[in-house]
Structure 1
Amino acid sequence: MAKAANVRLNVGDPIEHIRKPGGKIPDARPAMLLDYNAGRRSEVDAIDGAIPRLGKSLGVPTPVNETVVGIIRARERRMLA
């Protein structure tokens, strides 16, 4: 997506980029998991939902993100019903 949008990423190893700061907070949990556990709607549309929207505007298919967002939305609908 970054390439299609002409965005230059300079993070080196992306896995290390995430693990290094995350390793400093051993009991941390993702915000979306905390929202789900608390019975709140998450920010999935603002974060993961942005990928399919951008992909559509750039003509880039995003089937994995679309699936993940769809699953999260469905779980939230059931949880909040």
Structure 2
Amino acid sequence: MKPDIHPEYHEINIVMTDGTTFKTRSCYGQPGDTLRLDIDPKSHPAWTGVQRQVSSGGQIAKFNKKFAGLGTRKAG
């Protein structure tokens, strides 16, 4: 292996959607940083079998929000 090409591997905190926390090792951020999950195995339909609405919207909703005012003219 080549020396000095691998990212730093350190301990971080994970906060699940229900507020529970645990520590793991990752290359994410700096040592001691906190990663807050929007979707995790406790809330994702693939593991729970329950469908729920995700508030962030999909690709089309993001597009419409970004370009909502495009093409409208101001009176004056």
Shared fold (TM-score greater than 0.5)? Answer: no
Greater strand fraction, Structure 1 or Structure 2: 2
Q: Quick check: which has more Rg, 1 or 2?
A: 2
TM-score (norm 2): 0.22
Q: Which protein has the bigger helix share?
A: 1
TM-score after normalising by structure 1: 0.21
